[in-house]
């Protein structure tokens, strides 16, 4: 039985890793190939030709912050999610040097019960980075709480120290919020396969009483 379970587990893991690789991004215009359409508000957002992967045919989103520190300026997308599932979120960021203000690039994940992602806030999570003049990666994982039906992913230019009115800005690219988590689905699928194998083992059919 041990060998059968091992094979089943390996097959399940292989197929599930494939699922993760194919996981659909719930966000639109996440690589900013030509513009920043689809993100809101657009007031402090503009397209920048500096692409995280160095692609000449893509760019990134520039998030400007001319507020009085400490203050974060954000732009995001609201998408439907499933309560109880585990969600990963990730992005690349770049903070240019030579700015008179200092801060960080933040990626924020917030869960809501309402479809407008304005009212019905339940809980949120965020990751941030402060490296200068290099593309760096941000990533986090969070369980969608009971009662949540929508999630908002926001790009934020977070000015921590500086002067009022100065346009501190960060670039963000490759924003990723995959569909319901591979991790949890993988665990459930493996458990189901192992349970099925155990049921078959305990209910021998004609001519197959032993493994």
Q: What residues line the site for Ca ion (CB under 5 A)?
A: 31-32, 51, 58, 173
User: In the bound complex, what is the minimum distance in angstroms from residue 21's beta carbon to Ca ion?
Assistant: 20
The smaller minimum CB distance to Ca ion, of residues 58 and 167, is found at 58
Per-position b or e across 23-62, b if 16+ CB within 10 A of its CB: beebbeebbbeeebeebbeeebbeebeebbeeeeebbbbb
Chain position whose Cβ is nearest to Ca ion: 58
Give the span between the Cα atoms of 143 and 88, in whole angstroms: 9
Shortest distance, CB of residue 61 to Ca ion, whole angstroms? 9
- DSSP secondary-structure letter at 58? -
Which neighbouring-strand residues pair with 108? 126, 154
Comparison of 6 and 34: residue with beta carbon closer to Ca ion: 34
**102 in helix, strand or coil?**
strand
In whole angstroms, the minimum distance from the beta carbon of 174 to Ca ion comes to 6
State the minimum distance, in angstroms, from the CB of residue 44 to Ca ion: 19
**Exposed/middle/buried for residue 187 (C-beta within 10 Å: 0-12, 13-18, 19+):** middle
Unique residue bearing structure tokens 């003049």: 133
Give the CA distances from residue 77 to residues 62, 159, 196, in Å, rounded to whole numbers and listed in that order. Answer: 15, 21, 40
The span from the first CA to the last CA of the chain, in angstroms, equals: 6
- Closest contact distance (angstroms) between CB of 94 and Ca ion is 11
């Amino acid at each position: 039985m041990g060998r059968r379970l091992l094979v089943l587990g390996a097959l399940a893991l292989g197929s599930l890793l494939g699922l993760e690789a194919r996981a659909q991004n719930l966000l639109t215009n996440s690589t900013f190939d030509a513009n920043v359409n689809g993100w809101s508000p657009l007031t402090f957002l503009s397209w920048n030709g500096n692409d995280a992967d160095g692609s000449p045919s893509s760019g990134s989103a520039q998030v400007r912050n001319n507020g009085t520190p400490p203050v974060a300026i954000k732009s995001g997308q609201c998408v439907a999610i499933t309560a109880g599932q585990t969600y990963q979120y990730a992005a690349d960021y770049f903070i240019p040097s030579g700015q008179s203000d200092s801060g960080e690039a933040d990626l924020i994940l917030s869960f809501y019960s309402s479809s407008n992602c304005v009212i019905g806030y339940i809980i949120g999570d965020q990751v941030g980075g402060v490296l200068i003049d290099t593309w760096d990666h941000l990533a986090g994982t969070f369980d969608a709480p009971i009662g949540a039906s929508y999630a908002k992913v926001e790009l934020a230019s977070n000015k921590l120290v500086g002067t009022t009115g100065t346009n501190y800005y960060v670039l963000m690219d490759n924003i990723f919020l995959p569909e319901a988590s591979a991790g949890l689905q993988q665990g459930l699928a493996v458990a189901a396969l192992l349970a099925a194998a155990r049921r078959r083992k305990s209910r021998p059919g004609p001519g197959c009483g032993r493994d």
